[in-house]
């Protein structure tokens, strides 16, 4: 038997690596097992988020946005740039360098905090043991007082569009195109589909997004969702709602996608197709038959509110358990679990987890939509404010979008804030803090905001809850 640890974490994505660092900071002897191997054959930390998710997608979103901004908008504000062309291979190189800096940073943090990095595949055995199988198949068993499973998620594949090398790809494949496909099909108008569709549309692809549902972004307040749909449509994304994909055929380096919509059976030909229909929990090989850890009916590891599994001393966090599949949710669960193991009281407020779609403009929200609140029988009052009436947004030449505050009609407590605007992902933090502190809309309305900032639109939306926005007739 090898070393004994206070905590062994399985998986070094944003859930697992944060749990491991926090546990070590709390004075616990901690190890983290990771099996992800990069193209150079090296074990890397950071999981989906740093290797094929949040970070690389944002590198491509930012560079492609800069290209469009320079090409289409700079002239308007008095900056002549001449001809500007995207160099996709160079963009991919930049993306890879960003991944390397981020993943290398985690490995350095492990060293600095005294986390033992174990390379290989971790499996929970019975009796508080973890078996680690290395790259060459060698096995080692470790004992741990506590085990944290943070094994993440993988993309969902659907039978009508099986992944086909270089033609029908998942989100990871869509970050590797070496040139913009002429005709790009995106299946699924969720967060990832809209982000990846935006990247390649900006770089020259004709993008069609096929979405089975009739509603657009149902998790976002529908006033904000409608505004977003309009703005993305203007950018050239052809978003077809109520389009259920039924099959596909690959011929001569093209993909014919068949789908049904309100008019009947349709088909469309693409040069490449990205399947973005969601992600499913990944638990393959993580649990031995006698581990005793239960899964729920959808394959997530079953946990309570504080991420305890059905086995005492075994916790699970992040994408492999219920709740939104978001990096920051995974990380906060990691902190909570490490604190609990260290003997502290800790809990998470699942009502105040922000979500962001990093399109341009960005869409960001926290809490309920007006529609959800009403469906739950809550009487609400709302205030909205357009960025076209915000001085800083005009000075930024970014007047698109709106902010909306949803408050309880009786108590004035903020139930949700939904925004579509430039940097909405940054703006939403103030909504999260407001909700975390149980603020009323009046609390925000009586807060002094710096001028000129786009944050003032949130202030005005809060003032508008009682009908008193200043800069709106």
Active-site amino acid positions: 451
Phi, psi of 229 (to 5 degrees): -60, -40
- Residue 173 in contact with ligand FAD, rule: CB under 6 A: no
Q: What is the DSSP string of 132-180?
A: EE-TTS-EEEEEEEEEEE---EEE---TTS--BTTTEE-TTGGG--SS-
- Using CB under 6 A, which of the segments 148-156, 256-264, 379-387, 438-446 binds ligand FAD? 148-156
- Using CB under 6 A, which of the segments 42-50, 93-101, 158-166, 200-208 binds ligand FAD? 42-50
Q: How far apart (Å, rounded) are the C-alpha atoms in residues 275 and 159? A: 11
Summarize the chain as % helix, strand, coil (round to 5). Answer: 35, 25, 40
- Using CB under 6 A, which of the segments 1-9, 30-38, 260-268, 291-299 binds ligand FAD? 30-38
Looking at 153, 390, 421, 439, which residue binds ligand FAD (CB under 6 A)? 153
> x-or-dash pattern for ligand FAD, window 238-257, by CB under 6 A?
--------------------
Distances (CA, A) of 40 to 36, 281, 338, 426: 11, 26, 32, 35
- Residue 194 in contact with ligand FAD, rule: CB under 6 A: no
- Residue 13 in contact with ligand FAD, rule: CB under 6 A: yes
Residues counted in the chain: 473
Nearest C-alpha neighbor of 8 from the set 346, 345, 337: 337
Query: Using alpha carbons only, what angle is made at residue 33 by residues 31 and 38, rounded to the nearest 5 degrees?
Result: 135
Beta-carbon contacts of 366 under 8 Å, excluding residues fewer than 6 positions away, are: 352, 353, 354, 355, 416, 417, 428, 431, 432, 435
Coil, strand, or helix at residue 195?
Answer: helix
Looking at 63, 103, 146, 171, which residue binds ligand FAD (CB under 6 A)? 171
470 labeled part of a ligand binding site: no
Q: How many residues bind ligand FAD (CB under 6 A)?
A: 36
Residue 340 C-beta: closest distance to ligand FAD, Å: 17
Coil, strand, or helix at residue 470?
Answer: coil
Give 255 or 316: the residue with its C-beta nearer to ligand FAD: 316
Looking at 30, 43, 48, 228, which residue binds ligand FAD (CB under 6 A)? 48
Looking at 9, 325, 335, 393, which residue binds ligand FAD (CB under 6 A)? 325
Per-residue burial over 282-295, b if 16 or more Cβ lie within 10 Å, else e, is bbeebbeeebebeb
Residue 78 in tokens: 């008095």
328 labeled part of a ligand binding site: yes
Give 121 or 390: the residue with its C-beta nearer to ligand FAD: 121
Give 121 or 382: the residue with its C-beta nearer to ligand FAD: 121
191 labeled part of a ligand binding site: yes
- Residue 363 in contact with ligand FAD, rule: CB under 6 A: no
| CA distance between the termini of the chain | 74
Residue 31 C-beta: closest distance to ligand FAD, Å: 11
Looking at 326, 352, 393, 445, which residue binds ligand FAD (CB under 6 A)? 326
Looking at 166, 236, 285, 438, which residue binds ligand FAD (CB under 6 A)? 285
Strand order in the sheet with 183-187: 168-169, 272-275, 183-187, 206-210, 238-240
- Using CB under 6 A, which of the segments 149-157, 179-187, 237-245, 365-373 binds ligand FAD? 149-157
Give 123 or 381: the residue with its C-beta nearer to ligand FAD: 123
Tell whether omega for the bond before 361 is within 30 degrees of 0, i.e. cis.
Answer: yes
Give 14 or 185: the residue with its C-beta nearer to ligand FAD: 14
Looking at 21, 24, 49, 366, which residue binds ligand FAD (CB under 6 A)? 49
Looking at 9, 14, 28, 464, which residue binds ligand FAD (CB under 6 A)? 14
- Residue 35 in contact with ligand FAD, rule: CB under 6 A: yes
278 labeled part of a ligand binding site: yes
Residue 250 C-beta: closest distance to ligand FAD, Å: 23
Q: How far apart (Å, rounded) are the C-alpha atoms in residues 69 and 4? A: 54
Give 275 or 465: the residue with its C-beta nearer to ligand FAD: 275
Q: What is the DSSP string of 64-118?
A: HHHHHIIIIITGGGT---------HHHHHHHHHHHHHHHHHHHHHHHHHHTPEEE
93 labeled part of a ligand binding site: no
Looking at 328, 381, 404, 459, which residue binds ligand FAD (CB under 6 A)? 328
Phi, psi of 208 (to 5 degrees): -115, 125
Beta-carbon contacts of 455 under 8 Å, excluding residues fewer than 6 positions away, are: 427, 430, 449
Looking at 8, 12, 147, 424, which residue binds ligand FAD (CB under 6 A)? 12
Strand order in the sheet with 355-357: 355-357, 362-367, 414-421, 402-408, 380-386
- Residue 319 in contact with ligand FAD, rule: CB under 6 A: yes
- Binding residues for FAD, by number, are 58, 122, 319, 325-328
Binding residues: 58, 122, 188-195, 211, 278, 319, 325-328
Positions touching ligand FAD (CB under 6 A) are 10-16, 33-36, 47-49, 53-54, 57, 121-122, 150-153, 171, 192, 282, 285-286, 318-319, 325-328, 330, 358
């Amino acid at each position: 038997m090898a070393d004994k640890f206070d905590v062994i974490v399985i998986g070094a994505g944003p859930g697992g690596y944060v749990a491991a660092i926090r546990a070590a900071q709390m004075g616990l002897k901690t190890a983290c097992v990771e099996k992800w191997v990069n193209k150079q054959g090296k074990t890397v930390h950071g999981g989906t988020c740093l290797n094929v998710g949040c970070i690389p997608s944002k590198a491509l979103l930012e560079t492609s946005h800069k290209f469009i901004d320079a090409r289409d908008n700079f002239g308007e504000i008095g900056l002549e740039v001449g001809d500007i062309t995207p160099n996709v291979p160079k963009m991919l190189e930049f993306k890879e360098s960003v991944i390397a800096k981020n993943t290398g940073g985690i490995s350095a943090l492990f060293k600095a905090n005294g986390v033992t990095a174990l390379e290989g595949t971790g499996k929970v055995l019975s009796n508080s043991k973890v078996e680690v199988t290395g790259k060459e198949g060698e096995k080692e068993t470790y004992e741990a007082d506590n085990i944290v499973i943070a094994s993440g998620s993988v993309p969902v594949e659907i039978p009508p569009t099986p992944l086909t090398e270089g033609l029908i790809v998942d989100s990871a494949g869509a970050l590797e195109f070496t040139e913009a496909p002429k005709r790009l099909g995106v299946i699924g108008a969720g967060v990832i589909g809209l982000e990846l569709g935006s990247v390649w549309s900006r770089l020259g692809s004709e993008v069609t997004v096929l979405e089975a549902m009739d509603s657009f972004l149902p998790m976002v307040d529908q006033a904000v969702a409608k505004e977003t749909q309009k703005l993305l449509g203007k950018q050239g994304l052809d978003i077809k709602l109520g389009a259920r994909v039924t099959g596909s055929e690959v011929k001569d380096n093209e993909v014919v996608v068949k789908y049904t919509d309100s008019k009947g059976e349709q088909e469309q030909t693409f040069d490449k197709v990205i399947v973005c229909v969601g992600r499913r929990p990944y638990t393959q090989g993580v649990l031995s038959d006698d581990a005793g850890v239960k899964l729920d009916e959808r394959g997530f590891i079953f946990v309570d509110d504080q991420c305890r599994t059905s086995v005492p001393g075994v916790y699970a966090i992040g994408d492999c358990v219920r709740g939104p599949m978001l990096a920051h949710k995974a990380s906060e669960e990691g902190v909570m679990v490490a604190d609990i193991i260290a003997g502290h009281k800790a809990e998470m407020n699942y009502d105040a987890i922000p979500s962001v779609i990093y399109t341009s403009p960005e869409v960001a929200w926290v809490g309920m939509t007006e529609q959800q609140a009403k469906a739950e029988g809550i009487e609400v009052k709302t205030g909205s404010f357009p960025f076209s009436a915000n001085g800083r947004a005009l000075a930024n030449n970014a007047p698109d979008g709106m902010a909306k505050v949803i408050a309880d009609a009786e108590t004035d407590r903020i139930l949700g804030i939904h925004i579509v605007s430039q940097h909405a992902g940054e703006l939403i933090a103030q909504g999260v803090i407001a909700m975390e502190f149980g603020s009323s809309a009046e609390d925000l309305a009586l807060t002094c905001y710096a001028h000129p900032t786009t944050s003032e639109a949130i202030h005005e939306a809060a003032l508008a809850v009682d009908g008193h926005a200043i800069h709106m007739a």
